[in-house]
Amino acid sequence: MNIEQKLSDKTVEALEKLYGATIDKASFEKTNPDFTGDLTLVVFPFLKVSKKKPEDTANEIGNYLKENVAEIASFNVVKGFLNIVIGDTFWLNYFKSINGKSLLHPAPENNQVVMVEYSSPNTNKPLHLGHVRNNLLGYSVSEILKAAGNKVIKTNIVNDRGIHICKSMLAWQKWGNGETPESCGMKGDHLVGKYYVEFDKHYKAEVKELKAKGIPDAEAEKKAPLMLEIQNMLLKWEANDKEVRSLWEMMNGWVYKGFDETYKMLGVDFDKIYYESNTYILGKNIIDEGLAKGVLKRRPDNSVYADLTPDGLDEKTLLRADGTSVYMTQDLGTALERAKETGFDKHIYTVGNEQDYHFKVLFLILKKLGYKWADGLYHLSYGMVELPEGKMKSREGTVVDADELMEEMIATAKKTAEELGKAQDLEEADKQQLYRTIGLGALKYFILKVDPKKKMLFNPAESIDFNGNTAPFIQFNYVRIRALLRKAKEGMLNFDDINVFIHNVTLLPKEKELLIKLYNFNTTVQQAAAEYSPAVIANYVYDLAKEYSQYYHDTPILKEEKKDLILFRLQLSSDIGNAIKTGMSLLGIEVPERM
């Protein structure tokens, strides 16, 4: 049982015995660093039952706890604050208990099936910074949920069909001259993206021309020849036209190859990939079911809708008058399909906050339809990535490309390392690997340390930092630990048998703080899982690394005179290294051995 729980239970007991009061639980919090103690109980809420002054109440509870909880070394009272000091013995026992083990101990009873959907790209253009945030979040949340004891299925739904896909296809057909990724040396997704832009350019020119002839805006946009052509192409696609389909398959193939490279570089992956070309028809069964149950209604023109006005939302159309379905219909169908397929307990959609309304409606309709699993649906809604001048706009060319961004980060890592004279004795291949680890680490940490639901700012003019609250700083501390351990090994120091050296250890204040931090590792992972927030992990790992950095600076480890202390400090460092490595892996960030 953890110490906070024990203290809480005993406090409840104390209140009962001292004042005859029944209280559910008493919560302790971390003692403010300016005061002596490890855990603090605020006694103000108990004055009602004690009918005594804050100081007296705190002292009485303190005395009771001291007598009944062996781990307590001492306590002090400041106004209404009861500060508890936990003895070294407790922390040293904890230290022994984690020796050589993983810090993670997932709760098996928590073993739920969780689907995490993320990425969801369109196959008409390459991935950009917004996708990067999505991918990193989805991947990291998946890792965190796994660490918290869930069975996670990572999924991706690829938007591979529709009018926007036809745009790049048509443009390539018209102006591509048979260009392929091989022939021009361009990554497939970038090549297709180029033709998407190309389409837009010609289309705009046509619209402008029509407008010049005095045709109203809306009509010009609809009547432009290129618009009519892609609409025709979409119809052909839906009719399974051989020529259109093979063009579609070829160009999507290029895109997938490009995406695979980007995903690989980002370090994300999926257990199951869905394609909208297979799922867009889904959902019609649900309509029939909904109509039968009376959840959905039919209008005179034959269109079908869900009336959500009683819930403070609008009417949502699910089937057009012509019988075709809309985006929402697909999502209803896909959710049902997945529920049948996997029997998930939870399903997390990693999608930007611009779709908050969409998911509200989606979940509500599924609940109204009476599906139990609908309670397990969750929209992991994250804020947009903005540039100093505002939103990224592909039309204005202000989109930050994912591949380019990663390249730049790696190049900056290289440049910085060379300036600092780092890693000079490494093999060339190891150097390249190191620059990747550092550059991509910096990028990932920069994005993940921010609370997902907040919008975040990215300034391309200022490169992402490598100092301070960053991945390279955390990696650096890991590297220092690894260097110590290598040297210890060379010096034949054997710290395997913890029982030999632990008896002669008195904890320094910093060592105790570090042990407390390690002790909180699992709680932190659980919290991050509950909040679906990698930022919780990022902040934890940074705090730990920062504390260690101070410790490392102030405390001799290999240079310590007493051998038992050397061994203790090495083992402590090693444990911290493990915590850093594990924590970073939950963010999808690697740590190097040297840098």
Partner RNA sequence: GAUUCCGUAGCUCAGCUGGAUAGAGCAACUGCCUUCUAAGCAGUAGGUCGCGCGUUCGAAUCGCGCCGGGAUCACCA
Strand 39-42, strand 272-275: pairing:
unpaired
- Please report whether residue 317 would count as binding RNA according to CB under 7 A: yes
| Closer CB to RNA, 372 or 559, in the complex | 559
Choose the stretch contacting RNA; rule: CB under 7 A; options: 91-99, 111-119, 215-223, 418-426.
418-426
CA–CA dist 169, 251 (Å, integer): 7
Contacts of 261 (CB under 8 A, 6+ apart): 187, 403
- Please report whether residue 52 would count as binding RNA according to CB under 7 A: no
Does residue 513 sit in helix, strand or coil? helix
Choose the stretch contacting RNA; rule: CB under 7 A; options: 167-175, 193-201, 223-231, 543-551.
543-551
Element counts in the chain: helices (H) and strands (E): 23, 15
CA–CA dist 443, 292 (Å, integer): 51
Choose the stretch contacting RNA; rule: CB under 7 A; options: 29-37, 139-147, 260-268, 511-519.
29-37
Residues in 271-310 that interact with RNA by CB under 7 A = 276, 299, 301, 303
- Please report whether residue 73 would count as binding RNA according to CB under 7 A: no
| Closer CB to RNA, 153 or 438, in the complex | 438
| Closer CB to RNA, 503 or 559, in the complex | 559
What's the full length of the chain, in residues? 595
Report the residue from 19, 75, 81, 237 that binds RNA according to the rule CB under 7 A: 81
- Judge contact between 510 and 568, C-beta under 8 A: no
DSSP letter, residue 128: B
> Whose CA is closest to 2, among 32, 35, 34, 27?
27
CB of 316 to RNA, least distance (A): 7
CA–CA dist 439, 458 (Å, integer): 16
Choose the stretch contacting RNA; rule: CB under 7 A; options: 174-182, 222-230, 290-298, 483-491.
483-491
**HSE-up of 393 (CA within 13 Å, CB side)?**
6
Report the residue from 112, 463, 555, 585 that binds RNA according to the rule CB under 7 A: 555
| Closer CB to RNA, 110 or 550, in the complex | 550
Choose the stretch contacting RNA; rule: CB under 7 A; options: 13-21, 223-231, 498-506, 538-546.
538-546
Strand 113-117, strand 151-158: pairing:
parallel
| Closer CB to RNA, 116 or 417, in the complex | 417
Number of residues that bind RNA (CB under 7 A): 88
CB atoms within 10 A of CB 543: 15
Q: What are phi and psi of 358, to 5 degrees?
A: -55, -45
- Please report whether residue 314 would count as binding RNA according to CB under 7 A: yes
The pair of three-digit structure tokens given for residue 565, joined into one six-digit string: 């202390």
Residues in 486-515 that interact with RNA by CB under 7 A = 487
- Please report whether residue 42 would count as binding RNA according to CB under 7 A: yes
CB of 167 to RNA, least distance (A): 13
CA–CA dist 495, 485 (Å, integer): 10
- Judge contact between 392 and 127, C-beta under 8 A: no
CA–CA dist 157, 281 (Å, integer): 14
The pair of three-digit structure tokens given for residue 454, joined into one six-digit string: 């907040």
Choose the stretch contacting RNA; rule: CB under 7 A; options: 207-215, 313-321, 492-500, 574-582.
313-321
| Closer CB to RNA, 114 or 488, in the complex | 488
| Closer CB to RNA, 182 or 322, in the complex | 322
| Closer CB to RNA, 176 or 290, in the complex | 290
CB of 357 to RNA, least distance (A): 3
Residues in 144-203 that interact with RNA by CB under 7 A = 159, 162
DSSP letter, residue 302: S
Report the residue from 131, 167, 449, 517 that binds RNA according to the rule CB under 7 A: 449
CA–CA dist 595, 591 (Å, integer): 10
Residues in 99-138 that interact with RNA by CB under 7 A = 122
Residues in 327-366 that interact with RNA by CB under 7 A = 327, 353-358
CA–CA dist 555, 572 (Å, integer): 12
